[in-house]
Amino acid sequence: MGRESRSYRKRDPFWTGAVLSASALFILIWLFTSLGPFLSWILSMTIVTTAIYVLDKLSARSSGRRAPEPLLMTCAIIGGGIGALLSMVILPHKKNKGSFWAVNLFSGIMWGMLLVWDFVS
């Protein structure tokens, strides 16, 4: 089963959509704004992470196909922590899961501190 689930994950439309969306959005923001690559990456990941949380919340309400939890956590860790935290609070979605609070608080604080450091330096 482990091998099947790993090969399935590679074909999962949520993973593919997240990678393609984040890449395209990053390039568009970086090329067409005055933001540097760091801020463009954080903004694009925040938007993509928030969108995935919204889609997952809508799927949960309609009993549709859900976004994999590892994807939600991965998006938070690689730059979308602020969007993940906002989504947890505003929607509210995944707010009763301690693992999501731990990952999203850590990544939100980390990326928030890096943003402050980027603006100060």
49-75: pLDDT as tens digits: 999 999 988 888 888 888 888 998 999
CA distances (Å), 62 to each of 41, 55, 86, in order?
A: 31, 11, 22
The reported pTM is: 0.83
What's the sign of the alpha-carbon dihedral 110, 111, 114, 120?
A: negative
Other C-beta atoms within 10 Å of 100: how many? Answer: 20
Confidence of residue 77 (pLDDT cuts 50, 70, 90): very high
Residues near 25 by Cβ (< 8 Å), separated by ≥ 6?
Answer: 44, 47, 48
pLDDT in tens, 19-50: 999 999 999 999 999 999 999 999 999 999 99
Q: Show the domain range for 92.
A: 2-120
C-alpha R_g of the chain:
15
Domain count within the chain: 1
The predicted pLDDT at position 28 comes to 96
